[in-house]
Structure 1
């Protein structure tokens, strides 16, 4: 009994693969290194990305549309590569080594980007503020950017989950601290973003791009040092195998047994007899009576030989089935974030380009760089994060009885309402233990698809509105365009997106025997998110040209 109090009960080990000692590892003593790492990494990312559209326009001599689309394509890739990092973390390397290895790749990319902006021969030649970049110089710049995009892929889906690993879910005291960790994690992100969008943007516009990219490169190197400094204090969750493979196994096994009847008694479904789950790093999940078709994968039939070991492509455990169910139930909610991310991506593209056309002076001497306009969003988050954690959550906890104050869906709902007016990102979704990295990556793909959707919208709008010799909505001289029309289009898409939110709640709360309703609800959601957005775009463009 004494040993039970010494070590964690969630399967975590220390860096030397020994059982994690509760007093010597984890908790806030380990998290301060993780938060420091995240703060520096976000400073590096935003220090480079916030003003990137201006660099592409001014130094690589791109037009507004090409520069904007280049940024959203790159940013979208930064948020799609986490699927690679999550796969490696969950299946083979674990979160610690994934973060470590991809961080080094990240530093290499930042260094190459700095060289491309500062070394003669690699940087574009400029005369009287007019720059010309050769194809090879452009290639080096974009090679650096996409190396960075790959580097972020191993960090984004793993850092927050790695922080969660430092708190034992079976310990009530540590469980409450974990909830607080996410609030301060978000706070540290925005501290880095604040420095980037103020100090670094000013340096880029007034001192030079070599320094402007060099400082973020140093910040990323410091982030790596921060991360490795806390190694002896970390709790490490062992990789639990490929979550994607397990999900495909459930789908295949369910289809193979499509004619098998699912027993009413869930205890007759297949599960390992061990107390612990057979998926490394995960606890057993309780059976739910939703999405019953997938339960067929856990029904034992005569051809299933479980004496030695069951073939997972024919027979899956209840926990494995519930993993897939959790992802399926998440998909409609996940889709809601795509349009939101499209709107949010304008802060680093169109808002910056629009800011270039404005009078940026405050008084006779002080001038605010256009890329620093996003600082107001960052400051609001820095202010509200501790207020939310210390004041709002304790009050909401008393009123709702929920240990986190609000449920995850309530957080998202509140955030989507606010986003229509202020574009503040809402919340964090939690999923099964062995899929934390994969689910983090899945949530980040909404940002990726949102950026890619922004590229598509800008391209379509430009192609349609520049016909017959017209300057279009987004010309190189924005004073001659109609950027306001583009913003109205995004506002309408946001309203359509918000109107589909009630469908998400219906999917989450479906009960037994409501399979037809599930098909109807998911179908409606899909139509609203995909067809509805495209139809709205066509109608809006027709309306503008007919007016």
Structure 2
């Protein structure tokens, strides 16, 4: 349902054409006999990604419509459930990454996650097929519709929870494990491009194809296709195990960051030194200390964590008390995260309006004329296609035209902060456009005295301009976010930099549910019968939030100093 659930695929899709050209001339990367990996693994990962994406996008992008039409759940409540599921899918990849790095390894996490999603989809399909697992059918919006029983809701929510956790567990773990199969960084880059291209293509096919089957043929058949593609992806992935390079878990880098906070607190009363030899530096492979400097003066309290005291190290220079001493590099890594956290926080309020908007658009589409011609009707859950297509086109324009023009005119490309700023502008503009369109839709409904959720005589294509604005916004700010965090995050956290973007997206979904609940309790703008409400006022509030957050972002961007990018932060 929401494009930026699949944000990373769009982040890299602008580079797909170059990747295709390069991939045609790549020499096969040799794989040592006892150390598998290389291009022989490529078809397995790409096919697995395509299959699992078809399965996940096929149910998640249309779940609001399913809840309304088959479980008689009120429209706003269904949108709230959709937000919670999307939040789960975007928050749990970081959990899966930590588990894979620290305990189980990527292969086990992917197998377990795809098995969970398969079980969840089987249960979801059964709810569509078996009458005992859902309430009696009735006309959508009728006051005589029977609510689902507790047992029916339990099975439904269990299926959705399993499917969501499974989709979240494979999203970034599959990409990371695939990149681990290659030694050459350029080969890794080609793999990432193809991987996320399949991620994007699978989502698009699913939104257009599977959702059409669900809306026009049968929910059971549509969900059954999701089960089949999920099973196919799991089988393909497991079948290729003998070719994979399986890396052992190395421990999570977040443990070292936590160690800094614990050690700094324990040594808070020890006086800091100005001598670099009084601080513990990272050891070389041969056990000797690396030459370093004293920790930076910013956030001086954390410098206590690297300060050497009696008993901290053994005669050979190793740490004897791991939670009492850290390296200066670990201290600086944590400081980097603290410095960038204000910018990271602006992403939450940037994505929250979009999260709310994408859920409400499904409800608007259901109350508008979705016919194109006399025979075809656009599925409400497929409106996201306009965002996806716009974002893809905008990414190509940015990569192929905007960046070269800027390089020719001013000698450099737009900085990540500048791209994110443009994303803020387009997002706020999209909210304002949404408010104007919804006001027009309400006028049309009231002119014809249409209450409840009855279809207003207004084409659903009126929603396209705001979706185009969202697509352009995402093309700017998601590429900027990923590039900024990948460049600025500590080396030990490079693999989780993109996942940190997913974290604030997940937080935005949950915050969006809170905002909608608050609006429902304090105003009459969002009743279950949207024709009797004032959804346009909600969009105006979101527009104001976007403008205020943009101001906060400008302050943060002005104060931030790039650590690893040789350019100015204007």
- Relative to the length of structure 2, the TM-score reads 0.74
Pair 1:339 & 2:349 matched: yes
Cα gap change, 1:457/1:110 in structure 2, threshold over 3 Å: closer, same or farther?
Answer: same
Aligned-pair distance for 1:48? 0.9
1:497 aligns with 2:505: no
1:127–1:69 CA distance, 2 compared to 1 (3 A): closer
Tell whether 2:304 aligns with 1:252: no
RMSD: 3.5
Report Cα offsets for 1:55-102 as digits up to 9, x if no partner.
Answer: 111211111221111211222222232343122112112223222221
Work out whether 1:313 is the aligned partner of 2:313: no
What are the superposed Cα offsets for residues 408-451 of structure 1, whole Å, 9 maximum, x if unpaired?
Answer: 54553443344334224313232445545654443222122111
Match status 1:80 vs 2:80: no
Quick check: 2:53–2:199 contact (8 Å CA) kept in 1?
A: yes
**1 CA distance for matches of 2:286 and 2:381?**
51
The Cα offsets for residues 129-168 of structure 1, whole Å up to 9 and x where unpaired, read as 6764322112101110011222233223423333443454
Distance 1:407 1:277, change over 3 A: farther
How far did residue 224 of structure 1 move?
2.1
- Alpha-carbon distance change, 271 to 160 in structure 1, aligned in 2, over 3 angstroms: same
Q: Distance in 2 between matches of 1:41 and 1:145?
A: 15
SS at match of 2:362: helix
In structure 2, list runs of 5 or more residues that go unmatched. Answer: 1-29, 431-468, 564-570
1:137 aligns with 2:152: yes
Shift of 1:483: 0.8
| 1:388 to partner: Cα distance | 5.5
414-423 or 132-141, larger mean C-alpha shift: 414-423
Native 8 Å contact 2:295 2:331 kept in 1: no
- Which SS does the other structure have where 1:151 is aligned? helix
Unaligned 5+ residue runs, structure 1? 1-12, 169-173, 466-471, 512-547
Farther off after superposition, 252-261 or 193-202: 252-261
Which residue in the other structure is 2:174 paired with? Answer: 159
Q: 1:284 to 1:418 in 2, by over 3 A?
A: farther
Q: Secondary structure at the match of 1:500?
A: helix
Aligned-pair distance for 1:254? 1.1
Q: 1:59 aligns with which of 60, 70, 77?
A: 70
* Partner residue, 2:220: 210
d(CA) in 2 for partners of 1:394, 1:288: 39
**C-alpha distance in 2 between matches for 1:285 and 1:364:** 73
Check conservation: 1:68, 1:349, Cα contact below 8 A. Answer: yes
Distance, in Å, in 1 between the alignment partners of 2:361 and 2:293 is 47
Partner of 2:17: none
- Secondary structure of 1:274's match? coil
Secondary structure at 1:473 match in 2: coil
C-alpha distance 121-79 of structure 1, shift in aligned 2 (>3 A): same
Partner of 1:419: 427
Shift of 1:38: 2.8
Aligned length: 476
Q: Deviations over 1:233-289 (max 9, x none)?
A: 5444442213333222110111222344544455653124323899xxxx9999873
> CA deviation digits over 1:214-243, x for unaligned, max 9?
212222222223433544554444422133
In structure 1, what is the Cα distance between the partners aligned to 2:271 and 2:409? 43
Secondary structure at the residue paired with 2:118? Answer: helix
Q: In structure 2, what is the equivalent of residue 98 of structure 1?
A: 109
- Find the partner of 1:456 among 492, 514, 517: 514
CA separation in 2, counterparts of 1:178 and 1:209? Answer: 39
Give yes or no for the alignment of 1:476 onto 2:491.
Answer: no
- Contact 2:59/2:226 (8 A) holds in 1: yes
1:328 matched to 2:375: no
